[in-house]
């Protein structure tokens, strides 16, 4: 059975020792994030994910969504789950307190939402849409629009979606044709069609707030002429009550490879006279506001990669421990988890998931520092790091998550190819994560062109300096604890950073003279950056684990260790104690990472340096 339980030990360890919950709780307006409350929230979220969302995941996949006239019907159980989700206060966890949310920091948001995505990605895409849209309205909307809409969105009475894509305007938003015309009352009328709109229509909430990109007839060409409009499904009276149905409807649903429980709609605006919309912010600044939503969405999708990989890994581990086949160490009748190659696959999956989680949780903390830290230099550096690594978080995590889901099917063998077992759903659901909110190629070009070349690699070199400082700390820990393995990790990571700098120098040298080569190198460079940054976080985890083990041994003494078994190692201030066996497991994951994945950095760096061959290859080579 495809059950789910949150990996609470890993979550707590990373929050304590890589994020630093005590540091988050010390930030202004983040005081509520003290560890005991955080752990309590995580435990309750685990119960909700396992008890409410996970049980309807497979049935939602099998049933899917359907269009009944102009009504979108979602799977059975969705309404009850939404009502419970809202009633329990989960929707408002990180939303603004002034509009009814709890305003908790993003460092807590990350593990909780990872659980939702693991348990039921198709369902959780609906509340996820609220996060980015709420932030965009906070940034751009006027006070009257905020007062009318945000309390009802935050409460879960109304939901949101992001209506950007058109048939001719996918990644190229400059091609948006949705037309907006000014009305005499200060509102606008919108005409056109949007495609691939997640939860574009449904009846789970009383109203739906569409945030729509459109352009006025006299607007400048390209992205400089695009504006953002709020288009409610039902028009809203001044007192917040609902009026008549607006001229916006779902006209078809996509038949997709995965996430069947999430309706992906083609939306028609203005077929019956014009959809009433309201300008958000200023005219012709829609792309700017869109990126507020997009960055929030991309961060969420980075968690999709972790979450689906975790769900697939749990299934594969359970199956491998139940399935007997062949002989293990010459003995028949034992679970396949004991086969060396199956064990390797399981260890590879667990290590990759740990690395992804260790990469994305501290990134969530950067958001909190950027927004709340009292020292402007610290806040500004956090914003720079977010901007630099957002494409890496989104693309590397989803690419890696897809690999883990693929490995899970391999562990199942032939039964992995059979829908009855359920493992294929996570593979199918996960495939889109490499596509939506910007494909891996788009993320890579963003990283190289807008982040590396535009500022001549300044922020990346700043980040590299931080990584090298942690390498020195790891080497020092290796000397103090006399642990040769940690010293090897430090040397390997230092070599990885050298390769990253070498590849960066190549991009900078060719950026102004050979843009085609730079673009051909972009995806390998992104993978290289993801591996180095993930390795950095894995090294931090290894140092923390070894530090706890060393401190525990020193305090307990050899006699106590001999008589009481594995001692508990104290966590961070206010955190939970970790048992020695778990800490040794973290060290084992680090050893596997640096033996298995760190060597891939050199290959990606060499590929970057050889990228000119893409441009030199004749077109005929593609069609021979």
Active site residues: 437
Q: Are 225 and 284 in contact (CB under 8 A)?
A: yes
Q: How far apart are CA 198 and CA 402, in angstroms?
A: 21
Contacts of 616 (CB under 8 A, 6+ apart): none
Phi, psi of 172 (to 5 degrees): -95, 85
Q: Are 190 and 262 in contact (CB under 8 A)?
A: no
Tokens of residue 493, six digits: 């990571």
Phi, psi of 252 (to 5 degrees): -165, 160
| Whole-number Cα distances in Å, 68 to 73, 202, 255, 346 | 7, 11, 15, 44
Q: How far apart are CA 440 and CA 529, in angstroms?
A: 13
Contacts of 319 (CB under 8 A, 6+ apart): 411, 412, 415, 421, 423
Q: Where are the beta strands (DSSP E) in 541-599?
A: 568-569, 578-579
User: In Å, how far from its chain's centre is CA 239?
Assistant: 37
β partners of residue 227 = 214
Q: How many CB atoms lie within 10 A of CB 446?
A: 21
Of the candidates 90, 437, 111, 150, the residue with the CA atom closest to the CA atom of residue 297: 437
Q: Cα-Cα-Cα-Cα dihedral of 605, 609, 611, 612, to 10°? A: 180
Residue 66, CB-side half-sphere exposure with 13 Å CA sphere: 6
Of the candidates 13, 12, 41, 16, the residue with the CA atom closest to the CA atom of residue 104: 41
Q: How far apart are CA 600 and CA 285, in angstroms?
A: 42
Q: Cα-Cα-Cα-Cα dihedral of 304, 307, 311, 313, to 10°? A: 110
- SS3 (DSSP) at 3: coil
What is the DSSP-derived secondary structure letter of residue 173?
A: G
Hunting for tokens 């300096």 — which residue is that? 465
Phi, psi of 162 (to 5 degrees): -120, 110
Q: How far apart are CA 494 and CA 532, in angstroms?
A: 10
- The three-state DSSP-derived secondary structure of 458-495 is HHHHHHHHHHHHHHHHHHHHHHHHCCHHHHHHHHHHHH
């Amino acid at each position: 059975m495809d059950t789910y339980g949150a990996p609470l030990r890993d979550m707590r360890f990373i929050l304590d020792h890589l994020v630093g919950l005590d540091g988050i709780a010390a930030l202004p307006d983040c005081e509520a994030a003290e560890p005991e409350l955080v752990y309590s929230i995580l435990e309750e979220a685990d119960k909700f994910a396992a008890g409410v969302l996970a049980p309807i995941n497979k049935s939602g996949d099998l049933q899917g969504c359907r269009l009944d006239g102009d009504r979108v019907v979602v799977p059975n159980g969705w309404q009850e789950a939404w009502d419970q989700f809202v009633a329990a206060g989960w929707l408002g966890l990180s939303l603004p307190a002034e509009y009814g949310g709890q305003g908790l920091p993003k460092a807590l948001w990350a593990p909780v939402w990872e659980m939702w995505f693991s348990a039921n990605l198709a369902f959780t895409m609906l509340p996820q849409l609220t996060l980015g849209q709420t932030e965009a309205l906070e940034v751009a909307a006027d006070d009257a629009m905020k007062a009318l809409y945000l309390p009802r969105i935050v409460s879960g009475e109304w939901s949101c979606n992001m209506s950007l894509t058109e048939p001719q305007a996918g990644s190229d938003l400059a091609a948006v044709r949705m037309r907006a015309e000014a009305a005499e009352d200060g509102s606008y009328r919108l005409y056109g069609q949007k495609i691939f709109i997640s939860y574009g229509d449904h009846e789970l909430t009383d109203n739906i707030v569409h945030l729509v990109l459109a352009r006025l007839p006299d607007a400048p060409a390209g992205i400089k002429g695009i504006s953002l409009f709020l288009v409610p499904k039902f028009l809203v009276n001044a007192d917040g009550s609902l009026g008549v149905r607006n001229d916006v409807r779902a006209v078809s649903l996509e038949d997709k490879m995965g996430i069947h429980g999430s309706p992906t709609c083609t939306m028609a605006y203005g077929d019956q006279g014009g959809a009433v919309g309201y300008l958000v912010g200023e005219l012709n600044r829609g792309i700017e506001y869109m990126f507020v939503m997009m960055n929030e969405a991309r961060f969420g999708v980075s968690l999709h990669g972790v979450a689906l990989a975790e769900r697939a890994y749990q299934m594969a581990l359970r199956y491998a421990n139940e399935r007997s086949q062949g002989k293990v160490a010459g003995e028949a009748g034992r679970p396949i988890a004991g086969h060396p190659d199956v064990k390797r696959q399981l260890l590879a999956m667990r290590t990759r998931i740990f690395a992804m989680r260790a990469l994305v949780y501290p990134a969530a903390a950067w958001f909190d520092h950027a927004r709340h830290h009292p020292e402007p230099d610290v806040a500004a550096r956090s914003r720079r790091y977010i901007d630099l690594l957002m494409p890496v978080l989104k693309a590397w995590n989803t690419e890696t998550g897809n690999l883990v889901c693929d490995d899970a099917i391999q562990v199942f063998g032939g039964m992995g190819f059979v829908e009855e077992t359920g493992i294929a759903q996570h593979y199918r659901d996960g495939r889109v994560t490499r596509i939506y909110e910007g494909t891996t190629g788009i993320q890579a070009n963003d990283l190289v062109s807008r982040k590396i070349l535009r500022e001549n690699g300044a922020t990346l070199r700043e980040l590299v300096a931080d990584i090298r400082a942690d390498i020195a700390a790891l080497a020092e820990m290796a000397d103090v604890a006399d642990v040769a393995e940690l010293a090897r990790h430090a040397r390997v990571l230092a070599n990885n950073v050298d390769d990253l700098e070498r590849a960066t120098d190549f991009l900078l040298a060719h950026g102004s003279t050979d843009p085609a080569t730079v673009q051909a190198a972009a995806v390998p460079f992104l993978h290289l950056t993801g591996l180095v940054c993930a390795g950095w976080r894995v090294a931090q985890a290894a140092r923390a684990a070894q530090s706890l083990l060393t401190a525990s041994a020193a305090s307990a003494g050899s006699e106590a260790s001999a008589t009481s078994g594995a001692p508990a190692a104290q966590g961070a201030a206010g955190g939970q104690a970790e048992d020695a066996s778990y800490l040794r497991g973290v060290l084992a994951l680090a050893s596997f990472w640096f033996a298995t994945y760190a060597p891939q950095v050199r290959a990606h760096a060499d590929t970057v340096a050889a990228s000119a061959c893409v441009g030199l290859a004749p077109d005929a080579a593609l069609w021979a």
